[in-house]
Amino acid sequence: MATAFLKKAEPRPHAESNDIRDTVAIMLINIEREGEDAVRRYGQTLDQWSGDIVLSDAARKAACDRVPESLKSDIQFAHANIKRFAEAQKATMGECEIEVIPGLIAGQRQIPVSSAGCYVPGGRYSHVASALMTITTAKVAGVAHITAVSPPRPQTGIPDAIIYAMDLGGADLILNLGGVQGVAAMAQGLFGAKPADILVGPGNSYVAEAKRMLFGNVGIDMFAGPTDSLIIADQTASVETVAWDLVSQAEHGADSPVWLVSTDRTLAEGVMARVPELIDCLPEPNASAARIAWDDRAEVVLCDSREEAANVADQYAPEHLQVQADDLDWWLSRLSAYGSLFLGKETTVSFGDKTAGPNHVLPTSGAARYTGGLSVHKFTKTVTWQRCNEEASHELALRTARISRVEGMEGHARAAELRRR
């Protein structure tokens, strides 16, 4: 036996994604043509919000003042960890200068983008942590202007806790906007925002599609789909712990797959039996969302060795990868495709989602095969420069002209040869 599916999901249908693309394309065209008027209209229709789009300084302060001190302390704890980790990342980004050949000096600089647009999801859940993850990281990177948007609640606007997190993170401008209209407003620089050089942050399928369509004119953190999570567990793992970790991630929504890869049949079957029971313990609408995710999207794979389990995990390339197994150092060195890795029974994706420090904006839908998550690097341009003296210029000109003529590029050759005089 190599691998065997104890539970397998059906492929996700594509018809809905075509409808989303069409809807988003129309919205972006209308906003490009009509600007702020179209954004306000979409905000009224989709968010049921007819209040101020720009959150004033007074409204920001009032919202922050309403947040209980105990919650402020928790948000400050998370912010400090995220900031500390982002600063450690930034410290790894070096500039350099080298004499490539005598007289030719070349170098590398790290330059933050000028402006960033940070999308903070709202809707069913108030994603306080997403505000911290995106805005704080941009601030540490040195971004000069940060605009943040989040879907306003009807009559009340953005929840106070999210506003407090945005303010603590360092947002320069906060807009009561969600969905495609929020993304487009940041990209175009509407309502006093500086046009975003990069758009970051998780969101629903419409937000993700808007970012995909705008990519090129602006940068984006990554192409993102529904969140996903995979657990590798062996005979040392706890059925209860593994089951709750799967349920906690299925809670994100009906389209959020969770996967279990195990080398122990008894454990795998125990988890499969326990998960539905735990889902029934959740309040609504969390339970309904998790139940659909488990029934329709979850998979359980049985492997005959840890190497085979690692191979399966690399093929899935999950956003979140948990290991609840012996010899954690082996897994750390062996696994190669994931957004963020959680090692040992003492840690959980929930820590990473909220307070631990490493960013929770991560590649989904297998994108971890070729990219990592949001970091200070995403807000920074690695650029190069060069200069040379007459001696180096003579040598470069000679060889550049020869290569240019082999390529058929006479203009390049002549521009190079001017430097030989």
Active site members: 319-320
Residue 4's φ and ψ, nearest 5 degrees, are: -145, 135
DSSP 286-326: HHHHHHHIIIII-EEEEESSHHHHHHHHHHH--SEEEEESS
Q: How many residues does the chain have?
A: 421
> How far is the C-alpha of 419 from the C-alpha of 235, rounded, in Å?
70
> How far is the C-alpha of 343 from the C-alpha of 354, rounded, in Å?
17
> How far is the C-alpha of 43 from the C-alpha of 179, rounded, in Å?
9
Residues near 174 by Cβ (< 8 Å), separated by ≥ 6? 54, 55, 60, 147, 148, 149, 150, 158, 163, 166, 167
Least Cα distance to 54 among 154, 144, 185 occurs for 185
> Hey, CA dihedral for 173, 222, 168, 52, is it positive or negative?
positive
Write a three-state SS string for 237-282. CCHHHHHHHHHHHHCCCCCCCEEEEECCHHHHHHHHHHHHHHHCCC
Note the Cα 210 to chain centre separation in Å.
15
